[in-house]
Amino acid sequence: MFSFALGVGTKDSAGNWLEVYYPEPTLNPDPALVAPVLKALSYAGGNQATELTTVQASTCAAAVSDTGLKLQLEHLQTSKKPLVAVILDTDDKPGSVPEAYLKLHLLSHRLVKPHGINLDGIFAALPNVAWTSQGAIAIDELANRQLQARLAGENLEVFSIDKFPKMTNYVVPKGVRIADTARVRLGAYIGEGTTIMHEGFVNFNAGTAGTAMVEGRISAGVFVGNNSDLGGGCSIMGTLSGGGKEVISVGENCLIGANAGLGFPLGDRCTIESGLYISAGTKVTVMDSDLNPVDVVKARDLANKNDLLFLRNSQTGIVECRTNRSKVELNAELHSHN
């Protein structure tokens, strides 16, 4: 079995799932531990999301032997919101809202890394939702709910209209600091020791492997290596940008300067100077150790190569690639978030 989880979620008035919260999703669970739940649901194989009644939750709690799973089921018995059990026999593309939310949880719980799970078709699987101070609300029901709140003397605040909620409403990974939680989507993988400042942004299926400083944008599909620093206002082109298939990443011990940009995979110990945006097709003059031009290549030809320094010559305007002799050293005290 690929994954199993018990969740509590929200439906619209027509009975369609809007979102699901999974307190303890599992990856490759022991079949024997979840067998009582599968039996109660008459599971016959495949991937499925089944609404769970409180009676079923009680029956399963009495039958399971695993202490953690038993406690989950006992807690779920008290729910006033819809319950769901999701069984993913294989890692196929998500076929429902509960399945999609389980996969996003697996990423943010650090159980799988970006590109380590099948998310094909996830945009089609997820509904666009109003995320409010009263929880998830279907878009076509929002106006009525706003009126009801006004009449009751309450304030219904709408934080966003989006397919993806903010991560911290579902998962708060250990050992991170996030200055503005609205800028990190559920499905982000945030490594322990990462600091995300107010202007930092991390999309789903993207993130940081470990200690990192994020003051720029990590787009969908981008994974940043350990001990790298993304300067204020910098941007990394996402895998989805322009419909491209190239996986764009940042290696370890890299520095992307303020307001700089990256559109190809960067190796380890590389630096891009502030304000310089390098796309895959940017013409780059490669310099030798004496700063003599050796060749002119497209930036994509330097993908995943280590120890490179990219800058724009202030006299000629030419983008140059030199050997990087600087070392990125993040403040260990700053990134210790116990």
Is residue 334, in this structure, part of any structural domain at all?
no
Predicted local confidence at residue 40, as pLDDT? 84
In-domain check, residue 298? yes
Do residues 112 and 205 touch, judged by C-beta distance below 8 A? Answer: no
Dihedral of CA 268/273/277/282: which sign?
A: negative
pLDDT at 338: 65
pLDDT at 192: 97
> Is residue 143 domain-shared with residue 33, that is, in the same domain?
no
Using DSSP bridges, classify how beta strands 255-256 and 228-230 pair: parallel, antiparallel or unpaired: parallel
Same domain, 262 and 114: no
Over the range 56-88, which residues count as b (16 or more CB within 10 Å of their CB) and which as e? bbebbbeebeeeebbebbeebbeeeebbbbbbb
Looking at 24, 99, 141, 215, which residue is catalytic? 215
Question: What is the mean predicted confidence (pLDDT) over 280-296?
Answer: 93
Q: Could you report the per-residue pLDDT of 95-126, keeping only the tens digit for each?
A: 999 999 999 999 999 999 999 999 999 999 99
- 181, 289: one domain: yes
pLDDT in tens, 140-198: 999 999 999 999 999 999 999 999 999 999 999 999 999 999 999 999 999 999 999 99
CATH number at residue 30: 3.30.70.2010
Same domain, 82 and 51: yes
Instruction: Tell me whether residue 215 is one of the annotated catalytic residues.
Output: yes
Asked whether residue 71 is domain-assigned, the answer is yes
Q: Which CATH number is 142's domain given?
A: 3.30.60.70
If asked whether residues 307 and 198 sit together in one domain, one would say yes
Q: Biggest alpha carbon distance in the chain?
A: 76
Residue 331 inside a domain? The answer is no
* pLDDT at residue 243, rounded to an integer: 45
| pLDDT digits 0-9 by tens, 289-305 | 888 999 999 999 999 99
Residue 187 lies in a domain: yes
pLDDT tens readout for residues 207-236: 999 999 999 999 999 999 999 999 999 999
Asked whether residue 329 is domain-assigned, the answer is no
> Does one domain contain both 212 and 300?
yes
Contact in structure between 105 and 186 (CB atoms under 8 Å): yes
Structural domain range at position 107:
3-121
- Check whether residue 81 and residue 155 sit in a common domain: no
Give the model's pLDDT for residue 242.
46
- Residues facing residue 132 across a β-bridge: 135, 158
Q: What is the pTM of this model?
A: 0.93
Q: Looking at the structure, tell me whether residues 102 and 157 fall in a common domain.
A: no
Are residues 230 and 115 part of one domain?
no
* Residue 37 and residue 114 in one domain: yes
Of the two residues 172 and 77, the one the predictor is more confident about is 172
Instruction: State whether 198 and 312 are in the same domain.
Output: yes
One domain, residues 186 and 107: no
